[in-house]
Structure 1
Amino acid sequence: MGLTNGLASPPGKKPLFSFGIISDVQYADIPDGHSFHGVPRYYRHSIHVLQRAIQEWNSHQDLNFVINFGDIVDGKCPPGQSLDAVKKVNYEFQKSNRPVYHLIGNHCLYNLPRDKLLPLLKIPGVNGLAYYDFSPSPEYRIVVLDGYDISAIGWPQGHPKTLKALEFLEKKNPNSDKNSPEGLQGLDRRFVMFNGAVGREQLEWLDGTLQDATKLKQKVIVCCHLPFDDVASDQEALLWNYDEVMNIIHQYNCVKACLSGHDHRGGYSIDSHGVHHRSFEAALECPPDTDAYGHIDVYDDRLLLFGADRMQNTEMYFNS
């Protein structure tokens, strides 16, 4: 169990469904750079990772859909080029011969406001929010959360959600640069501006959705750009109120896995309730001619992630 190099489908068993995954493409037409921590970033190459992913997924006979875990264009994209860059990456996604479901990330919102971004990516949602669910098979439900529901980015400057986020950060982060976790300890390092929170209305929706899934005897896979577990992710990448989200999730036995991006390095854990957490390796950090994408085969009792190159294979067996 866990991250593995060799992975095989169970003999004689066909997946209920399969889906492609990629995260943090963060394309920009700028020279290579590096993260705040000095990790190399390959802004122009990342779109080639996506192109190879689409080609691979299109050749996969049994793939049902694709999930993009957010951040398709980098925040360093030159001013005035954001819309064209988003359209360029989205054009590559549109070459998929399977449906593509998008999540929004902080870098998406650095480039375009929600009212432009969501229609462009055909993200369903109400009042500019980007949470939704769908059932690819009677046995399963995919729940997509909007981790920037309460956020200082993406909403108009005077929007109540922006003001709430800024007030929250003022209380939690003493730094003048609210993107800096300097001086914050442990889990408090998540209180930075490049993260966000799930709002009250969305939490209630999540609770109701999991109730419904339980009644229908469905297993649930929760997807969010931001991770919920500090073993599968750096603490400074976590959703501000991951604890509230997990308190709801842990009330039910239906949620089997929480999948995310944002952390870039990738990680995996199983929490105390047996829920699997997998944050995905970033396409952005693939040197030329390397890749980070994959597909997940979904069975009644497990998820099998088959990764390309830097994307680690992962077996996720369910307790019950």
Structure 2
Amino acid sequence: MATREEHPLFSFGIIADVQYGDLDDVLKRHGSVRRYRNALYLLREAVQHWKEEHRIQFVLQLGDIIDRRNTRFNTSENALRDVLQEFDGVPFAVHHIWGNHEFYNFSRNYLMNSPLFTAQENATVEEVVKKEADAAYYDFSPYKGYRFVVLDNYDVSMCGFARDKDSSQYKQAETILRQVNKNENLNSPEGLVGLDQRFVKFNGAVGEDQLQWLRETLEVARQRGEKIILSGHVPVHPKSCYAMCLLWNYQDVLNILEDFSDIVLAYFSGHNHESGYHYDSGNEIHHVTLPGVIEVPLSSNAFGTVDVFSDRLVMHGVGQLESRVMK
């Protein structure tokens, strides 16, 4: 009988929706409190935890690292500097994913020339699958036989400065939104029913070029015998989040994952602020939505460490992030 591995092949840290700002707390309409200054202390606690563990190879920072309210006080660059300083000198890599709040604060061009653009530093010498020049999506391999795919969920978008208003992606996003959402405020889901509630401005879609890149990247991975873990700011399975936090064209992504269910293990996301999880038994893919650091109760936190074994992922959650074994 085969014995279970005692030590993981490799490990990584994971955290979402820090949304820091040097700002006073705000009580939201649904009763939660956004503790902007406290978020920085919680990020610091997470980084210190990972440093003391001495075992992670990298961190997936799943987006919304600073909050949009920084734009009201012209503090966006200061807030970004403060959160990034928490990662200074860490003995592991950090992969930053862009969420809606990144695009409220900065343009795509700004982000591509900032420390939040980690696609470039993780690029291989010769990319097997070509991408668009301004692509924020990428893949990397931290361990032989495993590949991580990072998606840009605001590829087709009207959100903030995700796309220039004269770009084809912005115009496509406007067409998609206005076909379903008839509200003057496109961030409002009023009148939308069921999964149509996802058609709000703070969500987005994965464009055709990115979908093609994803399919081709997974095909190359299959040929190499690699297993795949994906991540993005926005959830792609309707049973892993509220409908209002779902990717517009989630089904396009799920269709591709279904075609490669023999190699795809899991999809990690944030955006929802409340934790969510769904195991798709049909294709054996785990969909994990992390709770947002910005709204966790006092004296708690919301981050974790994932151990990767040959037959399972083991997530060790801290605070609001539930620990679980994903076979």
* Secondary structure, counterpart of 1:188 in structure 2: helix
**Whole-angstrom CA distance in 2 between matches of 1:155 and 1:12:** 46
Match of 1:93 among 87, 95, 100: 87
* Secondary structure, counterpart of 2:86 in structure 1: helix
CA shift in 2, pair 1:35/1:230, >3 Å: farther
In terms of mean alpha carbon deviation, does 92-101 or 223-232 score higher? 92-101
Q: For 1:272-283, what aligned pairs fall within 5 Å after superposition?
A: 272-283=282-293
8 A contact 1:83–1:112 mirrored in 2:
no
**How far apart are 1:289 and its partner, in Å?**
2.8
Q: Name the structure 1 match of 2:41.
A: 48
* Secondary structure, counterpart of 1:150 in structure 2: coil
8 A contact 1:222–1:259 mirrored in 2:
yes
**Whole-angstrom CA distance in 1 between matches of 2:81 and 2:165:** 24
**Whole-angstrom CA distance in 1 between matches of 2:29 and 2:284:** 33
**How far apart are 1:264 and its partner, in Å?**
0.8
**How far apart are 1:95 and its partner, in Å?**
4.2
Letter in structure 2 aligned against 1:258: Y
8 A contact 1:54–1:95 mirrored in 2:
no
Could you report, residue by residue, the CA deviation over 1:27-82 in whole angstroms, capped at 9, with x for unpaired residues? 11111113453322111100111000110111112211111000001111234111
* Secondary structure, counterpart of 1:277 in structure 2: strand
Letter in structure 1 aligned against 2:326: M
**Whole-angstrom CA distance in 2 between matches of 1:243 and 1:144:** 17
**How far apart are 1:11 and its partner, in Å?**
6.2
In terms of mean alpha carbon deviation, does 218-227 or 281-290 score higher? 281-290
8 A contact 1:45–1:287 mirrored in 2:
no
**How far apart are 1:139 and its partner, in Å?**
1.7
* Structure 2 gaps, min length 5: 121-131
**Whole-angstrom CA distance in 1 between matches of 2:236 and 2:12:** 21
Match of 1:158 among 137, 157, 166: 166
Structure 1 residue 261 corresponds to structure 2 residue 270 = yes
8 A contact 1:189–1:235 mirrored in 2:
yes
* Secondary structure, counterpart of 1:250 in structure 2: helix
**Whole-angstrom CA distance in 2 between matches of 1:147 and 1:127:** 16
CA shift in 2, pair 1:301/1:36, >3 Å: farther
**Whole-angstrom CA distance in 1 between matches of 2:320 and 2:97:** 21
Q: Name the structure 1 match of 2:123.
A: none
Q: For 1:182-221, what aligned pairs fall within 5 Å after superposition?
A: 182-221=190-229
**Whole-angstrom CA distance in 2 between matches of 1:190 and 1:217:** 35
Q: For 1:103-252, what aligned pairs fall within 5 Å after superposition?
A: 103-120=97-114, 121-124=116-119, 126-153=132-159, 154-252=162-260
Letter in structure 2 aligned against 1:122: F
* Secondary structure, counterpart of 1:278 in structure 2: strand
Calculate the TM-score normalised by the size of structure 1: 0.93
* Secondary structure, counterpart of 1:44 in structure 2: helix
Letter in structure 2 aligned against 1:80: N
* Structure 1 gaps, min length 5: 1-9
* Secondary structure, counterpart of 1:88 in structure 2: helix
Could you report, residue by residue, the CA deviation over 1:79-120 in whole angstroms, capped at 9, with x for unpaired residues? 411122112111213342211001000011100111112321
**Whole-angstrom CA distance in 1 between matches of 2:247 and 2:89:** 31
Q: Name the structure 2 match of 1:4.
A: none
For these two proteins, the number of residue pairs brought into alignment is 308
Q: Name the structure 2 match of 1:66.
A: 59
Which structure has more RCO (C-alpha within 8 Å, separation ≥ 6)?
A: 1
RMSD: 1.5
In terms of mean alpha carbon deviation, does 56-65 or 99-108 score higher? 56-65
* Secondary structure, counterpart of 1:93 in structure 2: coil
* Secondary structure, counterpart of 2:294 in structure 1: helix
